Structure 1
Amino acid sequence: MDSQDEVIIERRGSAGIIRLNRPKALNSLTLPMVRVIASALEDFAADPSVASVVVMGEGERGFCAGGDIRLLHQSGKEGSDGAETFWREEFRLNHAISRYSKPYVVLMDGITMGGGVGLSAHGSHRVVTERTRLAMPETGIGYFPDVGATWLLPRAPGEAGTWMGLTGLAVSAADAIHARFADHCVASTALPALVDVIAALPASASAEDVHALIRTMAADAGESRLAVNRDVIDRAFAGDTVEDVLQALAGEPGEFAAEAAGVIASRSPTSLKLTLRLLRAGRTSASLAECLNRELGACMGILYNHDFYEGVRAAVIDKDRNPKWSPASLSDVAPGDIDRFFIAAQPPLFAT
């Protein structure tokens, strides 16, 4: 493929390389990109001369800022099947990454959000850098954490995943490792050398060989803000309603709790309640596949929800950063308003 392609596929030694190539759009995913990545992973898995796969983003600003929100917004407005097709293929790719047969090394350098988390956090060898800013910011656009995040977030230590899902705030490399979304921190300047040494491994290299190699180049990720504030997070975010979380935050002293409360108050009330319910359901789910099936049903409900279109308008289209949520308050979101997001999509993505 040439440098104009949205995804560049190459071979370097024993490594299959996948490079997201929309740097001006922070490598946001389109449906053709999802298809190229899925096809490349199948080809590399079947090639005995490929020991591992390395996935990275072009440009210095980010690995991947998520899915193409404009496309989803337009598809919903038009009533076309574009959004559903994208979600179905993206979620299947997320699941395939989680079960990939070879070491899957992903370089989460810079902004890694939404769909970028789906491409990375399900992998076997997840590398962050001092520039990593990881987030699931969907409650700020009238959406919810998807791409299997409702499986990943509940498995972070304590209530760190609940804090991440509700606030949508970006976290650092150290936080990503603490939350179990990443494994190693490597300096951004060392990434080219890391790719070279991975490519120089023999075709018989194992997953542990790759981990050991990355460890030799690992840097100190620094202090995790989430770890430092774990006691506050675990106390305040243990509730099963958003109202309980906000009440608990109000009783916590300090800037950390005040910041979380202020951010949550700015998010879509519907999205907050949907997200918390999905996270609690994910906590007791048996598999990533079960969570992805549930998320797809919620995605289809989102297409009929005012806040998604208003959130995308305010953040991406008009960029006035002033969404008008409806309902505007948590108290006006009834349980039945959330029930409709839990209608299973047909056909399901996976048999569970």
Structure 2
Amino acid sequence: MIAVNAEDDTAAHTVLFHIEGRTRVVTLNRPKALNALTHPMVLRIDEALAAWAADPAVHQVLIRGAGERGLCAGGDIRAIHDDAKAGNTASADFWRDEYRLNARIARYPKPYAALMDGIVMGGGVGLSAHGSVRIVTERSRVAMPETGIGFVPDVGGTWLLARAPGLLGTHLALTGTAVGAADALLCGLADHFVPARLLPELTAELATAPVHEVVARYAATPEPGHLSDRRPWIDHCYAAHTVEEIVDRLLDHGEPAAKEAAETILAKSPTALKVTLAAVRRAAALGTLEDALAQEYRVSCNALSSPDLVEGIRAQVVDKDRDPHWTPPTLAEVTGADVERFFAPLGEDRELRLPQAQR
């Protein structure tokens, strides 16, 4: 039994643990909320992983989502909205523990498999794409859509996207585009494609066999994606120095998909776009995931005082009018100083400090 400190009575129901032979299975159990993560859920998963790492009876871990719609749609952004609007710090505490969990998953000493079936966004990417065995299906829709709510990719997303081939990661970061199985594999966000109908059989076999052996028997080739053919114009357009120049290149290119990308970008928070471009490019130069998570923590905490975070969540989730009013409203009005504010140190006692992996 996993004992979690400071948990409310519902935490045990929103994350379920059970034993399947050699495998410990984690099930996110908020299907009506697309298994969105809460702080108690993060704490519960982290404590379980810490205990299992030292348990010789545990050979591997599998994480999956309850219901038919997806693994996890991200963090509970309505709670973040309410916290930011009230000027509180509960979100900072949530992110601190969530990013520590992301780092634990990335360095986990045993195979950590994630069923990335259905919707996998934001915090769901953090729970899965840092794992050692990442499985997508024909139903997978993987995204870091934060710019649409006035936020910036986090949970190690800037680290992952900065390491995608060419500038595919920058494209995904700015547009928030959701990709299917083939493109998730191409971008390094997943390792294997398995048809969704075979997941129950695959999961059952994990009770008695190592995950790498099991996945090899079920892995197949997905339907072709879109990004491989679009690499030439993506790499050209997103190499521009600023977001404004990226948009201009996309509009001038002549490819309908490039124009569509420009229009998608222009609907996002101008401030979040410029901070995201800076964050991904800075993450590319960092040495470890832990460094990237520490940078993301600064950006996330500083975003709490940004009007666009509250406004973006209001428009997309609270009022659902899909009509955000960004401050400032245009890319040209977002200054270099505005961007740098998001990367400003939080103070010695507030920074996120994670144990560094062996280099």
Tell me what 2:351 maps to: 347
Cα deviation, 1:315-334, whole Å, max 9, x if unaligned, reads 00000001011111000001
Question: Residues 103, 221 of structure 1: CA spacing in aligned structure 2 closer, same or farther, 3 A cutoff?
Answer: same
User: Is the CA contact 2:146–2:176 (under 8 Å) kept in the aligned structure 1?
Assistant: yes
Cross-structure match for 1:294: 295
The separation in 2 between residues aligned to 1:154 and 1:8, in whole angstroms, is 33
Structure-2 residue corresponding to 1:230: 231
1:280 paired residue number? 281
Alignment partners' CA distance in 1, 2:147 and 2:89: 23
SS where residue 66 of structure 1 aligns? Answer: coil
- Greater CA drift, 271-280 or 239-248: 239-248
| Structure 2 counterpart of 1:349, one-letter code | R
- Cα RMSD (Å) of the superposition? 1.4
1:242 maps onto 2:246 in alignment: no
Say if 1:240 and 1:276, in contact at 8 Å, map to a contact too. no
- Count residues with an aligned counterpart: 345
Deviation at 1:256, TM superposition (A): 1.1
1:67 is the counterpart of 2:75: yes
Q: CA deviation at 1:4?
A: 7.2
1:257 aligns with 2:264: no
2:20–2:206: 8 Å Cα contact kept in structure 1? no
**Contact 2:294/2:351 (8 A) holds in 1:** no
Query: Which consecutive unaligned segments of at least 5 residues does structure 1 have?
Result: none
CA displacement at 1:178 relative to structure 2: 0.4
Contact 1:106–1:127 (Cα < 8 Å) also in 2 = yes
How many angstroms does 1:211 deviate by? 2.3
Aligned letter for 2:159? W
- Partners of 1:140 and 1:232 lie apart in 2 by 23
Query: For residues 149 and 130 of structure 1, what CA distance do their matches in structure 2 show?
Result: 22
Instruction: Give a deviation string over 1:176-220, Cα, whole Å, max 9, x none.
Output: 00000000011111111111111112xxx4xxxx32320210122
- The code of the aligned residue for 2:266 comes to A
Cα distance in 2 for partners of 1:344, 1:177 equals 35
SS at 1:5 equivalent: helix
In structure 2, distance between residues paired with 1:222 and 1:334: 42
The amino acid of 2:212's aligned partner reads H
In 1, Cα distance between equivalents of 2:314 and 2:266: 19
Is the contact made by 2:11 and 2:40 (CA closer than 8 Å) also made in structure 1?
no
Aligned to 2:324: 323
Residues 270, 338 of structure 1: 8 Å contact kept: yes
Partner deviation per Cα, 1:98-139 (whole Å, 9 max, x = no partner): 000000000000000000000011000000000000110010
2:7 aligned residue? none
Partner AA of 2:100 in structure 1: R
How far, CA to CA, are the matches of 1:144 and 1:285 in structure 2? 17
Q: Which residue of 2 aligns with 1:109?
A: 117
> How many angstroms does 1:243 deviate by?
1.0
Instruction: Give the Cα separation in 2 of the matches to 1:344 and 1:12.
Output: 45
8 Å contact kept, 1:154–1:279: yes
Following superposition, the deviation at residue 80 of structure 1 comes to 2.2
Does structure 1 conserve the Cα–Cα contact (< 8 Å) formed by 2:96 and 2:352? no
**Per-residue deviation, residues 158-182 of structure 1 (Å, max 9, x unmatched):** 0000000000011101110000000
Question: Partner of 2:15 in structure 1?
Answer: 7
Q: TM-score, normalised by structure 2?
A: 0.94
Who is 1:19 aligned against? 27
Determine if the alignment matches structure 1 residue 123 to structure 2 residue 124. Answer: no
What letter corresponds to residue 353 of structure 2 in structure 1? L
Secondary structure of the residue aligned to 1:28 is coil
Q: Counterpart of 1:143?
A: 151
TM-score w.r.t. the length of structure 1 is 0.95
Unaligned stretches of 5+ in structure 2? 2-9
- Structure 2 distance, partners of 1:117, 1:348, is 20
User: Helix, strand or coil: the match of 1:323?
Assistant: coil
CA deviation digits over 1:58-91, x for unaligned, max 9? 0001110000001111111222221111000000
Measured at CA, do residues 78 and 3 of structure 1 come closer, stay the same or move farther in structure 2, by a change above 3 Å? Answer: closer
Q: Is the 8 A contact 2:11 2:44 kept in 1?
A: no
Q: 2:239–2:246: 8 Å Cα contact kept in structure 1? A: yes
Q: Indicate the larger mover: 292-301 or 87-96.
A: 292-301
How far apart in 1 are the matches of 2:38 and 2:259? 37
SS at match of 2:206: helix
